[in-house]
Amino acid sequence: MIEPAPIQLDPAFGNVWDELQYRGSVHVSTDPEALEQLLGGEPITYYCGFDPTAPSLHLGNLVQLIVMRRLQLAGHKPLALVGGSTGLIGDPKPTSERQLNERETVAEWVTYLQAQVLRFLSDEGENAVRLVNNLDWTAPMSTVDFLREVGKHFRVGTMLRKDAVASRMESDEGISYAEFSYQVLQGLDFRELHLRYGCVLQTGGSDQWGNLVSGTELLRKAEGVHAHAIGTPLITDADGTKFGKSEGNAVWLDAKLTTPYAMYQFWLNQDDAIVVQLLKTFTFLPSARIEELAQATIDAPFRREAQKELAVQVTSFIHGAEETQRAIDASAALFGSGDLDALDEPTLAAAVASLDKQATATPDAPVLQLLQETGLVSTLSEGRRAFAQGGVSVNNERVDDANATLEGRLLHGRFAVLRRGKKTLAGIDAGADA
């Protein structure tokens, strides 16, 4: 069984602020010197918000959860806000209005996200995570009270200059008053959490900076309090595409939406150019080990040692060591160095679904026909030659008979991995819906 790194701060750093800096977790902040002093002193209360606009958190949210966990490990007290009210509106997207979800759906998603948060933040000890829901203080507030107590502290000119708003103002669709007001609601959250729990720091993505500082501005104007905000860098792949559900390439933290196998493969396939930064951001590996992996990427990139370590560490943090080991075993079995028959059905299904070439079939489908249907061969004649040359296998077992079918070969009565040669694979699903 694999042994993930312990969830702890790196003793190489004198304080958590230095470690956040090393890991590249601070893209923008209110006052770096004051924050360093604040985080190095007595425990403070801090928060991060997660809107239930989907039934699961994703990798962008994981960045925040890991920053929150590092701060918690330093002794500070986390508040995890799942936005039952802000989730009904959604923060402004760069190009278009968000689709509004039903209240019942949002309430259900709140419970899902709260359960996910508790997987990553400790709920034990003096600085146990506290779950909060902004619907608790917005629902009882009348429109008049909202405008008088909160809205009066915001200046429209300042709100219009926020990046998220400005980009929408320049679009053909414009922006609704609902989404325009989102920053006011987020500011209200910070003030309310300060009044209730003494919260003085908010973290979030740097693309949310306008919303983050709306809270610090409201606290300064309404309460005379100097609070802080930290904006983390946006995480992108090697070509600069943002990881996130708005980009259509979300990697979800829910195993039903992104399987542990798919999660493991996602990290395993990261580019050399970004793997070291991903190790810093998403793992609890000490800096000394990260530097070793960085050097290994330079000296022997073909070994992909950094990617393998990244995949093990992050998948374990999200899904646990046991599920990660299953993913590793599935990867080995899929490429011929392990036993496919030993894989449990969900892991095997995820592994088969990950293959680029796919086909559905009946349990008695001819293997030769499937070779052509999946594109492993161009013609039936080419397929027969592949059989004659001993280059065809089903579930890692060589098949010599060109008239063979899937009968008796399906794993879990449904799946097969069809192979031509050593590395050309296709996934076969002979399920009930085939």
CATH number for the domain including 427?
3.10.290.10
- What lies within 8 Å, CB to CB, of 210 at 6+ separation is 162, 163, 164, 165, 183
Taking alpha carbons only, the member of 275, 280, 337 closest to residue 308 is 275
Same domain, 342 and 388: no
**What is the domain range of residue 281?**
259-354
CATH number for the domain including 85?
3.40.50.620
For the whole model, what pTM was predicted?
0.91
Among 328, 354, 380, residue at a domain's last position? 354
How many C-beta atoms surround the C-beta of residue 125 within 10 A? 10
| Residue 249 belongs to some domain of the structure | no
Structure tokens at 256: 């039903």
Burial of 98 (0-12, 13-18, 19+ CB in 10 A): middle
Residue carrying structure tokens 């987020």: 186
247 pLDDT tier (thresholds 50, 70, 90): low
pLDDT digits (tens, 9 = 90+) for 180-191: 888 999 999 999
| Residue 5 belongs to some domain of the structure | no
Among 240, 271, 298, residue at a domain's last position? 240
Q: Is the dihedral of CA 271, 272, 277, 281 positive or negative?
A: positive
Same domain, 227 and 367: no
Same domain, 330 and 360: no
Same domain, 77 and 21: yes
Q: For the chain, what is the largest distance between any 2 Cα atoms, rounded to a whole number of angstroms?
A: 82
pLDDT digits (tens, 9 = 90+) for 355-395: 999 999 999 999 999 999 999 999 999 999 999 999 999 99
Task: Tell me the sheet residues that pair with 366.
Answer: 405
Region 421-432: mean pLDDT is 86
Among 187, 211, 240, residue at a domain's last position? 240
DSSP state of 221: I
Question: Comparing 202 with 432, which gets the higher pLDDT?
Answer: 202
For the chain, the domain total comes to 3
Q: Is the pLDDT of residue 46 over 50?
A: yes
Q: Is the dihedral of CA 14, 18, 20, 22 positive or negative?
A: negative
Same domain, 162 and 86: yes
165 pLDDT tier (thresholds 50, 70, 90): confident
243 pLDDT tier (thresholds 50, 70, 90): low
| Residue 1 belongs to some domain of the structure | no
Q: What span, in angstroms and rounded, lies between the C-alpha atoms of 200 and 190?
A: 8
Mean pLDDT of the chain: 92
Q: Is the pLDDT of residue 246 over 90?
A: no
Same domain, 348 and 381: no
| Residue 6 belongs to some domain of the structure | no
| Residue 365 belongs to some domain of the structure | yes
- What lies within 8 Å, CB to CB, of 229 at 6+ separation is 29, 30, 201, 202, 203, 204, 209, 212, 213, 215, 216
| Residue 161 belongs to some domain of the structure | yes
Q: Is the pLDDT of residue 432 over 70?
A: no
Same domain, 291 and 398: no
Residue carrying structure tokens 């918690």: 72
CATH number for the domain including 294?
1.10.240.10
| Residue 333 belongs to some domain of the structure | yes
Instruction: Output the pLDDT for position 179.
Output: 84
Same domain, 374 and 432: yes
22 pLDDT tier (thresholds 50, 70, 90): very high
pLDDT digits (tens, 9 = 90+) for 330-343: 999 988 777 898 99
